[in-house]
Structure 1
Amino acid sequence: MGSSSSPLYDKFHLYSTPQFLFIVPECPSSSSSSQETQIVVIDRWSGRIKLAAKAEHFPLAANVAFRKIPIFGVLGWIPAQNQPQLVVITKRVRVGEWPDRHVVYRLEGAEIIHVCQTPITPDTRRMVEAVSGVLTTPYFYFCYTQDLTATRQRLFLASNESQSPQSWLDRADERFVWNRSLLGPLLKSAAGPDIQPFLTPMIHGAVFIFKCGIQGQDVDWILVSRRSNRRVGTRFFLRGCDDHGRVSNFVETEQIVIHGSMVSSFVQTRGSMPMFWEQQPDIRYKPKALVTPKKESIQGFVAHFKEQVPLYGEQVIINLIDQKKAEGELELALKKICHEAQLKGVHYVAFDFHKECSKMRYDRLQILIDSLRQHVANYGCFFYSAANPDSLQLQKGVFRTNCMDCLDRTNVVQSLLATENLNLVLRRMGILSPADNVLDQLEFQHIFKNAWADHADLISIQYAGTGALKTDFTRMGVRTKYGLLQDGWNSAVRYVFNNFTDGIRTDALRFFTGEVNMEEYLKQYQKKKPSQGSLDYLPGVFLAVFIALILTLVLTHEVSLKFFVLFLGAIGFLYLIGQMILQNGRIWVNFPRTLQ
């Protein structure tokens, strides 16, 4: 990964015997016969991990029973209280070639192997299920020869640093290595840092790689998003920032264009509003969002940008939330904090997306893009031509976009800013004339718009549980009635997930990334959920009465005064029960136990 001191292996055979697990790299044919090859040896009784020469253990004795499976990398180790689990890649899909022939893969299958011979305990099974659940969330990506955590600009600058070679894990941006916590026990084992060529770091987010034709010229167009492994969790349960300025749903998105010896990279970021606020679910469709009353709210904002500005340069905060009601209070709070902080190089732009684009007037987004055009020109992008080293240009700043979830509205605006950048880059590369627009190239327009819409769906599934809203505009440039219906369906599914399943998912994410340790995770799930007495039965009573009422209406052929009175009484009873449920809604929400 990146400029590694040793290359990462990309194919292995895992041998499982009653006493050992052996991870044997599939070496190139020129060295496949060498018995000096290092392999990983895991003692199934003690759990000890070490490196050894292949000749010490192979060939296996004829009387040793073993299972042999092909694997494509090691993702980590779950200590699991004397019942360790080894996590390996069993299936991968080739996404495409990164610049300079670096092949990118998507994780399609992983197996968690019970190392010890003892029966698995309930606690261990819970941890295995948590890790397994996270690994089935689309999508994880990895590359054996390139650092996927780094932008082209960071890679270029790192390659020109005069320092001693570092391992891939030392050089990788730890914000984006999602299995870093799982890799930790392997690196601390007896095998030590020398085990790194066997390990496979992953990013979470989206990667799209296309070879396109624009104006008859070959262009590589790549879109990659890297989700941060900090303050992980799901929509509603994780909002705003923590004391260290780390925000929920932070994503770095990079658009790469390659033509001949020329390469460009344009980076944008998204992330929850960097202040202390919350929106705890209470089974209402849209729970009220509140600014958390903390005196140090400005400190979280300052801490966020003290990290962001050195990483990305100047920042334009593009806030797309409503400017009325509860969202309006949040918008005013963020504007006030930004004004009071007076941070150099941090600018604030508010755009009421829903108001400006009401009645499907999405053409009005051009007002926002026009207002940002000077920043687009000032910030530029990373640009370099190997044929002309003097062409080097660095990106000086980024657009940091947010809405409430940093999903739907955010993705629409990011795709428009990416279009602006793409036009500038292709003109500089001599592919487009100043009068041309890249989206007039119909074949590329189809690729570009669908990739951004698919990208929106992936980031949304990872945070909210469903595909994104408003993707019909991203795909076709207009809002459609079918798109509105699809948005309604996704909103309904989000409601169910966000209220009744996302607590468990948030806990699993926090455990997977190491934000909560094994002891704390198990401690919270060993506690029995307290009973709320008769309130526990309210939803069941409501549902029973509602079904009985519907059946009565269907089966009754004559409507009498008595029936009418009973019907009104049932409606009134349902109303009272409904109000009690709403007033006590938090009782039935599936809250994360590790956040209580």
Structure 2
Amino acid sequence: MSSPCANAQCCPHNLYFSTGGEYASGIGPSLTILRFQTEQFTLKDGPVRITLFSRRCNRRLGTRMWRRGANLEGATANFVETEQLVEYEGLTSSFIQVRGSIPLLWEQIVDLSYKPRPSIIEHEEMTNVVQRHFHDLLQRYGDTMVIDLTDKQGDEGNLSNAFAAEMEKFPDIRHVHFDFHHICGGGKFDNLQALYDEIEEAILKQGFNYCLDRTNVTQSFLARKSLDSQLQRMGALSSAESISQSDSINDKFKKLWVEHGDELSLEYAGSYALKGDLVRYGKQTLPGLIKDGMSALSRYYLNNFHDGVRQDALDLISGYYTVSKSSSSPFQVIGFEPYLPVASAIIVGGITVTTFTLSQVGRSAQHLISSIIFAGLTAGMVALVKANGKQLCSRPRLCGLI
């Protein structure tokens, strides 16, 4: 693929960078505009306009926990194309990144735990699913390089290792792993430079990459690198200049990407994106940590008690589920969901009474006995809720996971 276009009449999609998933090039029936925003500033007495488009694929549409991985056709969940369009003195240049879930068959069923364990679905079609996924990418974009940003340890490490094993079956596709949390932990955002150094030659050579997860922080870093290159080639910057040298321009660029991440996160997870201050300030701040904490709590609530109904609504309006008069209602079997408020009330009440009776223990032995009884009842109810976590959560009922 060629470098950024030097002619405003050329196709604006001549420089591609991808960070995950797959995409049907152009706005077709499987793609909808999710976000559109623009910023303008001046360089060398000329106006520069940056426009950020986000387009979401509807081939595996859904909420964060109930749509993970790929379906049997190879379409991935949370697939979004983001295009950074730059205009300067009649020239137009475009930089595209694509993000999406790891293209394996896997699930992460909510069960009231803070972080449900991801689980790989054993299926004879697994390799064919990955093959369909990359066949589609290669047909649409040509040469592809995979950048995997998942952890190498724990349950996520198992998912990453399974993906790496599948990628070994595709020797023509380069696979790069970058443990984002380990390398960039503690707000060491600048360590992303190590990733860029590793893939820079491939970016300049083929203009296209493919990456997974830890999306907005990494995407914004790479987009800034691309923006410098685009503006240098268009003559708005010299080869030694960067937008980061101007606080006002850099702030506008960061604002675009922070709001971009928030919008995509709201669509998929139901809350603002985490680590937004890393994009805006290059480090984590106390207000950012507080905001992340609130977003994490919001995600927990929505994932466990709301997203099942939301997923059903998405499946219905997108046409993946068709109502049939001859079929019984999928909502007849409701499981334990209605009992969760009662169980929650008992737990809260038990904790309150136990705390109160403990504070009165010094007055009589009866309060001690009452504390033990209420503490035991509360612990028993907590154990019962934990054991039946999957049944108590809001679950989609219209369509299967894959």
How far the C-alpha of 1:533 sits from its partner, in A, is 10
Q: Per-residue deviation at 1:305?
A: 1.1
3-state secondary structure, aligned to 2:175:
strand
Distance 1:213 1:523, change over 3 A: farther
Find the counterpart in structure 2 of residue 49 from structure 1: none
Taking structure 1 as reference, are residues 437 and 573 closer, same or farther at Cα in structure 2, changes over 3 Å only? same
2:83 matches 1:254: yes
Change (3 A) 1:254 1:522: farther
User: Of 187, 195, 201, which aligns to 1:368?
Assistant: 195
1:153 alignment partner in structure 2: 13
Paired residue for 2:298?
A: 493
Change in Cα spacing, 1:420 to 1:522, as seen in structure 2 (3 Å) is farther
* Aligned residue number for residue 583 of structure 1: 387
In structure 1, the gaps of 5 or more residues are: 1-99, 101-150, 155-170, 177-202, 381-396, 404-408
Using the alignment, how far apart are the partners of 2:300 and 2:338 within structure 1? 25
Change (3 A) 1:521 1:562: farther
- Where 1:519 maps in the other structure, the secondary structure is coil
Aligned residue identity for 1:576? G
* Greater C-alpha Rg: 1
The match for 1:65 is: none
Aligned alpha-carbon RMSD (Å): 2.5
The equivalent position to 2:144 in structure 1, one of 305, 309, 315, is 315
Instruction: Please tell me whether the aligned partners of residues 521 and 594 of structure 1 are also in contact (alpha carbons under 8 angstroms).
Output: no
SS at structure 2 position matched to 1:466: coil
Aligned-partner Cα distance in 1 for 2:201–2:286: 35
Contact 1:507 1:521 in 2 (8 A): no
- Against the structure 1 CA distance between its residues 448 and 172, is the aligned structure 2 distance closer, same or farther, given a 3 Å change threshold? closer
The AA in structure 2 aligned to 1:210 is E
Structure 1 residue 439 corresponds to structure 2 residue 249: no
Asked if the contact 2:335/2:391 (under 8 Å) is kept, the reply is no
* Structure 1 residues 447 and 534, CA gap change in structure 2 (3 angstroms): closer
Give the equivalent residue in structure 1 for 2:19.
none
Q: Letter of the aligned partner of 1:275 in structure 2?
A: L
> What is residue 574 of structure 1 aligned with on the other side?
378
In structure 2, the CA distance between the partners of 1:418 and 1:524, relative to structure 1 (3 Å rule), is: farther
Unpaired segments of 5 or more residues in structure 2? 1-7, 15-25
In 2, the alpha carbon distance for the partners of 1:531 and 1:479 equals: 40
State the Cα deviation string for residues 311-357 of structure 1 (Å, max 9, x = none). Answer: 12222222211110100000100000011233x3x321111111112
TM superposition shift of 1:468: 0.2
Instruction: Give deviations 1:417-474, integer Å, cap 9, x for gaps.
Output: 1111111111111111111111212221111001100000000000000000000010
Who is 1:69 aligned against?
Answer: none
Partner of 1:353: 180
Residue pairs, 1:292-331, within 5 angstroms: 292-331=121-160
Residues 158-197 of structure 1 deviation map (CA, whole Å, 9 limit, x = unaligned): xxxxxxxxxxxxx851211xxxxxxxxxxxxxxxxxxxxx
* Conserved 8 A contact 1:524-1:594: no
Distance 1:302 1:486 in 2: 40
Partner SS state of residue 174, structure 2: strand
1:130-529 matched pairs, under 5 angstroms = 152-153=12-13, 172-176=27-31, 203-342=32-171, 344=172, 346-380=173-207, 397=208, 399-403=209-213, 409-519=214-324, 524=329, 527-529=332-334
Q: Which has the higher contact order (CA 8 A, sep 6+)?
A: 2
Q: Which residue identity is paired with 2:302?
A: F
Counterpart contact for 1:320–1:351, Cα < 8 Å: yes
Work out whether residues 214 and 441 of structure 1, in 8 Å CA contact, stay in contact via their aligned partners in 2. Answer: no
Structure 2 length-normalised TM: 0.88
- Per the TM alignment, residue 525 of structure 1 is displaced from its structure 2 partner at its CA by 5.2
Distance 1:521 1:371 in 2: 57
Q: How many residues align?
A: 380
Determine helix, strand or coil for the equivalent of 1:340: coil
1:546 to partner: Cα distance: 2.2
Give the AA of the match of 2:64.
Answer: R
TM-score, with normalisation over the residues of structure 1? 0.60
C-alpha separation in 1, matches of 2:279 and 2:129 = 33
Output the CA distance in 1 between the equivalents of 2:288 and 2:262: 13
The one-letter code of the counterpart of 1:299 is N
Report the secondary structure of 2:391's partner residue. Answer: helix
- Report the 3-state secondary structure (helix = DSSP H, G, I; strand = E; otherwise coil) of the residue aligned with 1:478: coil
Letter in 2 for 1:449: K
Name the counterpart of 1:119. Answer: none
Amino acid paired to 2:13: Q
Alpha carbons of structure 1 residues 339 and 540: separation in structure 2 relative to 1, 3 Å = same
CA shift for structure 1 position 260: 1.8
